[in-house]
Amino acid sequence: MCGRAVAFLAVLLAASACASPGSGAAARSWYAGDRDRARSQLEEQLADDEEGRALYLNELGVLALERRDLAEALRLFTAAGQIMGAFGGSGSDALGAIVGSEASKQWRGDPHERAMNSYYLGIVNYLLGVHDNALAGFKNAIFNDSGQGEEAYDCDFAPALFLEGLCYRQLADPDMAERSFAAARQLVPGCPALAAGARGNVVVVVDVGRGPSKIAVGSNGEQTRFIADAASPAAIEVVADGVPLGQTSKAGDLYFQATTRGGRDFDSILATKSAVKSGAQVAGIGALLIADDLPRKHQGGALLAGAALLLTSLAVDAKADTRHWTSLPNEVQLLRLELPPGTHEVEIRPSSGWRVAGPVTQTVIVPTQGDALVYQRVLR
């Protein structure tokens, strides 16, 4: 009777558990080159999974940027950012931290993901020519990378600092621009685009490869770890009007960004949940095993106590939330170059085995004053 009761409780709880699935299926489609299928999968999840809404909006934003639908990309990243930037939570969210899977709560991303949402808002606004909004995006990326409260530290994501400086140049504030450039240069002194003597009126930004994947580790899956996909092309050449002008260089590393943040807010809660879960399992099984050895009048109480402890163990899901933004790059590469003002055809050519995810050739209008921005994504 005891075994059947516990089995029933386990089946009941398993049936009632509802975890947000994440965007892994769409990622497999996208990285395999099936953009349409990836978009369809994400749109279905966006309609069905309210808790993962910000995640799917960000993934769809990357696809919109890839096809250069800048208005749609702006809408998607803005909507995602509004969710990711929310603080606090409802009573049900708080309860869900203790009972239930982390993946059944609202996804707001890790610090590096929040920073990248702002980074993309900066990129899209710059491409749209709205430089004050672009500046706000890159500033917010710097803020999210810097942490808050007691965990605050200096931003170490050089691309955001460099692009902030580029926006200051567009807004005719050379002093602030040079401060941002110097901060970026200090972080990555070996990147030619960030060098003190670097000059140019065209900045090429290339997001390269596949970003870090998030997995659960620990006896109850209560901790998270990031796995790097560190592959990158041997070279990414930039060609303008048929003439090779140089190669991009690494300026930012997303695996480094993901693994050097302060602890997530829920880390200690997850560790406690793991201990509660394991202890309840042991105590519950022990109570059921000794029930048969007790006098009949005490067996019912022992069975009920054991079942209650196992019920607690089953109800407390210590598994960490491994949902993550799957379309983030592994690294950001930059090139700064000079072109005559006017219209040019710019092509990004990665080395063998790699491909561009957006348009192979882009028409770029170089202004008489200020800097043009070329954005591209390169995948294997």
- Mean pLDDT to the nearest integer, 216-232: 84
What's the chain look like in SS3?
CHHHHHHHHHHHHHHHCCCCCCCHHHHHHHHCCCHHHHHHHHHHHHHHCHHHHHHHHHHHHHHHHHCCCHHHHHHHHHHHHHHHCCCCCCHHHHHHHHCCCHHHCCCCCCHHHHHHHHHHHHHHHHHHCCHHHHHHHHHHHHHHHHCCHHHCCCCCCHHHHHHHHHHHHHCCCHHHHHHHHHHHHHHCCCCHHHCCCCCCCEEEEEEECCCCEEEEECCCCCEEEEECCCCCCCCEEEEECCEEEEECEEEEEHHHHHHCCCCCCCHHHHHHHHHHHHHHHHHHHHHHHHHCCCCHHHHHHHHHHHHHHHHHHHHCCCCCCCCCCCCCCCEEEEEEECCCCEEEEEEEEECCCCEECCCCEEEEEECCCCCEEEEEEEEC
Mean pLDDT of 109-118: 95
Average pLDDT in the 330-353 region? 97
The pLDDT value recorded for residue 198 is 87
Write the CB contacts of 181 (distance below 8 Å, at least 6 apart in sequence). Answer: 161, 162, 165, 194
Over residues 276-316, the pLDDT tens digits come to: 444 555 555 555 455 555 556 555 655 565 555 545 555 44
Structure confidence at residue 268 (pLDDT): 42
Residues 138-150: what's their mean pLDDT?
83
- Within its chain, how far is the Cα of 336 from the centroid? 27
Q: Which two tokens stand for residue 132?
A: 């004050």
| Tokens coding 374 | 């070329």
Please give the torsion angle defined by the CA atoms of residues 351, 357, 362 and 365, in that order, rounded to the nearest 10 degrees. -110
Is a pLDDT exceeding 90 seen at residue 374?
yes
123-139 per-position pLDDT tens digit: 999 999 999 999 999 99
Q: How confident is the model at residue 263 (pLDDT cuts 50, 70, 90)?
A: very low
Give the mean pLDDT of 345-370.
95
What pTM was estimated for this model as a whole? 0.79
- Give the CATH class of 2-266+320-379: mainly alpha
Residues 7-52 have pLDDT tens digits of 545 544 444 445 678 999 999 999 999 999 999 999 999 999 999 9
The CA distance from 252 to 211, in Å, is 12
Whether residue 251 is predicted with pLDDT greater than 90 in this model: the reply is yes
As a whole-number percent, the residues of the chain with pLDDT over 90 amount to 64
pLDDT at 230: 82
Mean pLDDT of 334-346: 97
**pLDDT value, residue 59:** 98
- pLDDT for the residue 153: 66
The pLDDT value recorded for residue 286 is 54
pLDDT of 191 reads 97
- Average the pLDDT over 128-152 and give the result: 86
Q: Is the pLDDT of residue 254 over 60?
A: yes
Task: Say whether pLDDT at 260 is over 70.
Answer: yes
- Per-residue pLDDT for 357 more than 80? yes
Q: Residue 277: its pLDDT value, please?
A: 47
List the domain boundaries for the chain.
2-266+320-379, 271-315
Average pLDDT estimate for 237-266: 84
Asked whether the predicted pLDDT for residue 242 surpasses 60, the reply is: yes
